[in-house]
Amino acid sequence: MVEFVTGLFKAGGPVVYVLAALSVISLLIIAVKLMQFVGVLGGRKRIDLALAQVQARDNRAALGTLKMGSPTERVLAYAIGAVQNRMPQNVLEAEVERRGNAEVEILSRFIRVLEVIALISPLLGLLGTVLGMIQSFQELELAEGAANASILAGGIWQALLTTAIGLVVAIPAAIAASLFSATIERVAHRIETSVGRLYLVVNAPQSP
């Protein structure tokens, strides 16, 4: 296995080293984000219960229900506390929006790096292939037609190797970036929906 990997690096040249570094960065980011995203969409039942408690005018119980385990719970808990402290509506809305954006920004960190890796890895692989093909045909020219087909084929497969490695690096990064982005959109939507429900409950006229 070690010899195989060493052979890949030797055959692919400097481009493979760059792609290997990008692969390590990509896998590290994916691992960190997976740990960060655990539970970000959780707490739906707690949120529903907390809003029901707010509707019953029991804000303290609602704050106790929320476990702060997800961005939505954290933003909603702040909003309930602010309502309990009678914060002006316009100030409350602005601060809740700021906190919601901050939560989304934290989740969005390094997603752009994954997107860039997914974009440039195939291009780097293609660059390595083009450079390898140029070298192969230069060797063929220097041999003045004396090179046999097996030598030429060996040079071509080594050149194509970098394109394959580039795709192997790019595909996981692209999939991860897409899934993470979709999850972030769901989190943002859930924050907006939960806070909107809170505003409706708070501003609803009380029954006589």
Q: Are 77 and 173 members of one domain?
A: no
**What is the average pLDDT across 166-185?**
96
Structure tokens at 75: 């933003």
C-alpha to C-alpha distances, 190 to 2, 21, 65, 113, 197, nearest whole angstrom: 47, 36, 18, 25, 10
**pLDDT at res. 137:** 72
Tokens of 187: 């989190």
Residue 128 is assigned to a structural domain of this protein: yes
Has residue 206 been placed in a domain? Answer: no
Residues 130 and 100 placed together within one structural domain of the fold:
no
Residues 134 and 164 in one domain: yes
Question: What is the DSSP track for 187-206?
Answer: HHHHHHHHHHHHHHHHHSPP
Same domain, 126 and 100: no
Residue 135 is assigned to a structural domain of this protein: yes
- What's the total number of domains in the chain? 2
Note whether residue 99 is domain-resident.
Answer: yes
- 128 and 30 within one domain: yes
Residues 126 and 150 in one domain: yes
- Assess if residue 207 is contained within a domain: no
Domain assignment of residue 21, yes or no: yes
Residue 8: per-residue pLDDT = 56
- Tens of pLDDT, residue by residue over 123-151, are 999 888 888 777 777 766 666 655 555 65
Q: Are residues 21 and 77 in the same domain?
A: no
Please tell me the least confidently modeled range out of 2-6, 14-18, 140-144, 175-179.
2-6
Domain identity same for 129 and 160: yes
pLDDT given for residue 182 in this prediction = 96
Q: Are residues 31 and 120 in the same domain?
A: yes
Domain for residue 208, yes or no? no
Q: Which of 7-21, 72-86, 142-156, 179-193 has the lowest mean pLDDT?
A: 142-156
Residue 10: pLDDT band with limits 50, 70, 90: low
To the nearest whole number, what is the mean pLDDT of the chain? 86
Same domain, 70 and 12: no
Q: What is the DSSP letter of 40?
A: T
Contact 178, 28 (CB under 8 A): no
Average pLDDT for residues 108-123, to the nearest whole number? 96
Which ranges of the chain would DSSP assign to H, the alpha helix? 2-12, 14-36, 44-55, 59-65, 71-84, 89-108, 111-142, 149-203
Domain range for residue 80? 44-107+192-201
What is this structure's pTM?
0.84
Same domain, 90 and 149: no
What local confidence, expressed as pLDDT, does residue 100 receive?
A: 94
- 141 and 180 in a single domain? The answer is yes
CA atoms within 13 A on the CB side of 70: 23
